[in-house]
Structure formats: structure tokens, C-alpha cells
Structure 1
Amino acid sequence: MISVTRFCRAAAVALALVAAALDAGAARADNGFPFGLEMTLDAARQPGSKRLPSLEIGDAGEVVLELWCKGGKGQFSVAGNTVIFVPGEIENRSCPPARAQADDDLVAALADAASWKRQGDFVSFIGAKTLRFRLNTN
């Protein structure tokens, strides 16, 4: 016969294992590619502007880009830590030359990225230049 104390210990151990497994699953889910989320470039604002570039990534990898001045669309394809960004049509708004060039450089750096990694609320796209974005979690 199993004693009550022994049964309670076994139940406590089983409960702890289940809780640890659920916690580990949640931690892994937080490290996945941020499909369905919006993120903002972790960079200083440009002089005379309050805007920071942002990406809104849909569930299928479709992207709406709002840059320092321009805006447009694109598509992410992800396999493991490999990423491919294909820019779509970018709107040429009335941009000062410096902001237009910064927008073009940012789109080129995204297209050049070959891998990505997520650390908590930050996602980095890694290529010749690393771009770090903060997930908008509020």
C-alpha cells in the first residue's frame, strides 16, 4: 500500500514537472519569428523627425513598412534562423534627400539579411549590417 506522504510527494513532483514543461514551451514560443506582430527599429530619431521605421508582419510573412519617410510592402520567408526579405513597391513620398537615402539603405539592409534571432522583445536581422527591432508589445 502507498502511504499518503509518498503519494503527496509523487503528486508534487509530477505537478512540478508539468509546470516546468509548460513554462519551457512558453519560453520557446516567445523566441519564434514574430509573425502577426509589429516592431519598431531600435535607432535614434533623425533630426527634425519624430518617426521611427516600423514593420508590421502578417501571419503569412507579408510586411507593411513605414520608414522614416517612405512606406511600402514586402514579404518575409523564414526557415529556422534563415530569413529572406523581398521588398515590394516602395512609395516615393515627398522626402528630404537624407531621409529618402536612409529609407533606401534600410530596405537594402533588410533585403541583405540572411538570418535572424530573437532575444525577448528584440528581433535582429543579420546581414552585412545588423538591424535590431523592438516588438511593440503594448
Structure 2
Amino acid sequence: MAARFGFRFGVVAAAAAIASIGAFPASAQDGFPFGLEMTLDAPPQPGSKRVPSLDIGDSGEVRLELWCKGGKGQFSVAGNTVIFAAGPLEDRACPPETAKVDDDLITALSAASTWARQGDEISFDGPTPLRFHLNTN
């Protein structure tokens, strides 16, 4: 009986600790944009109309469409802390200069350690700050 009480108390204490640091996803309206798509606040590359976008699933899985490359990744979020892990990217016969800006964007997103949301604007802070706009149309 004492062991069972101890286990239940441990589970309740662990859940309370996780909730207190904000590890449970907040609603999409005031928290991380799970289930939404967003576009990088940047101009298209010369000779193209494409601008990078992220389509984020309900569990943090993400489909990336960059200036040339595409692929998948995963976001993990706890409070305002964020970790992005990129999966393999499709090369799509990108010109070297476009491939480099795609790789630089992935590097910047992977190096971001915190995020913030202000309305439809999502920012990722790290060595290279990034700003995205939610696609609300």
C-alpha cells in the first residue's frame, strides 16, 4: 500500500513539475503555433518568388519548404524554450548560392534557443534571430 501511494504521489508531483515549466503545448492562439503554417519574414531570392515556410503539425513535426530545398524536422517546446532538429533535406538540384542560404537558414533555426509570439508574428532567438508570420488566409 505504501509503495502504491508513493508511486501515485510521484506521478502527481512529476505532472505538476512539468506543468509548472510549461511543457504542455499552449493553445495555438497564444502559444507555439502547433498545427499552423508560417512564412519567413524575408524577400525571395533573386530570380525566384519562393520564400521559406514551415508547416508545423500538432505534435511539432514540421514540413520545410525553403528557397530551393525541402524536408522535414521536429520542434520540441517547453515554455519559451525551443529545440529544432532538422531531418534530411531534399537537394532538388539547387544552385550553390541558393543551397548555401537554405543551409544557413537551417543552421540559424537549429541554433535558436527561445521563441516568442506577438499576434501573428513568431520570432526565434539565437545567434541569428529569425521572424516568421503565420499564414492566416
| Category of TM-score, reference length = shorter chain | 0.7 to 0.9
| Paired residues, number | 111
Normalized per residue, which structure has more helix?
1
Moved over 4 A (4+): none
Q: Deviations over 1:21-74 (max 9, x none)?
A: xxxxxxx86220000000000001111000000000000000000000000000
* Inter-partner Cα distance in structure 1 for 2:108 and 2:30: 22
1:29–1:110 Cα change, 3 Å: closer
Matched residue, 2:85: 86
Equivalent residue, structure 1, for 2:30 = 31
Listed as ranges, the gaps of 5+ residues in structure 1 are 1-27
Structure 2, gaps ≥5 residues long: 1-26
Using the size of structure 1 for normalisation, the TM-score is 0.78
Cross-structure match for 1:24: none
- Aligned counterparts, 1:37-116, within 5 A: 37-116=36-115
Q: Rg bigger for which structure? A: 1
Distance 2:52 2:30 in 1: 22
Matched residue, 1:118:
117
Q: TM-score, normalised by structure 2?
A: 0.79
